Structure 1
């Protein structure tokens, strides 16, 4: 389910070793948060986010968020067939209509987060981190270092 137009480009700040796996094999780790399994990105290329979202020494830049999002949702659906997925912008200082997983305090507004999230359709589901693989995304993504940020 998609309620929002994805931004054309998504940014994931992290450690190079993790992001190299994301680029080459499409490996992503969904983490539990507020009753969902989530995978956050930023909608902005901002040198300060290396520190804010760190530890980070690299940024995965996804230039085709539509292709990426569809592949990610399909992979999670195969891995977790009884889960419902959604993605959308995080709202700062207000409760998002998408739920608590998409709501943050105004102090975090600089992150301009776009989040992918999945919720179990089974009541009382145990939330553990889940790793999914969507295949190489090298044809529409790249890694950038903080040094490549324009001055």
Structure 2
């Protein structure tokens, strides 16, 4: 699986127009929506399909296992993003109320030691046909 590179680059991590620019922690992230709202296709244009995950627990385990192989000294977490109020998990998991329709689920990894540069990574999680499907834009 290869998410868009911008979802993994620290410079593009949730600079919400509604809440202004704020300092961001040093993280690599993978962002997904837990909504099946067709209007999100225009929000994330030029998307023409989406990944529908039927077994979210197994999918999350695959993601974290793959990240652990590539980033062995990093701490990983995943949780729902909080809209309109600060998440207990910090600014990476916080967005403004106008973006609440995204119903974002965020995976985030933080290095044990600060690093000078963060680079996008590719997570290889294997075949997920039994737990997920690609669904075309309607």
- TM-score class, shorter: 0.7 to 0.9
1:125 deviates by 4.3
- 3-state SS of 2:77 partner: strand
Distance 1:135 1:109, change over 3 A: same
1:124 deviates by 3.4
Bigger shift: residues 128-137 or 28-37:
28-37
Q: Could you report, residue by residue, the CA deviation over 1:54-80 in whole angstroms, capped at 9, with x for unpaired residues?
A: 221001101001001011101100101
1:90 deviates by 0.4
> Given the alignment of the two structures, is residue 62 of structure 1 paired with residue 53 of structure 2, yes or no?
yes
**Unpaired runs of 5+ in structure 2?**
14-23
Residues paired across the two proteins, number? 122
Distance 1:125 1:118, change over 3 A: farther
Bigger shift: residues 90-99 or 29-38:
29-38
- State the match for 1:126 in structure 2: 117
Task: Output the TM-score relative to the length of structure 2.
Answer: 0.83
Q: Which has the higher strand share?
A: 1
- RMSD of equivalent CA atoms: 1.4
1:107 deviates by 1.0
- 3-state SS of 1:132 partner: coil
1:94 deviates by 1.2
Task: Output the TM-score relative to the length of structure 1.
Answer: 0.76
- State the match for 2:66 in structure 1: 75
- State the match for 2:129 in structure 1: 138
- State the match for 1:10 in structure 2: none
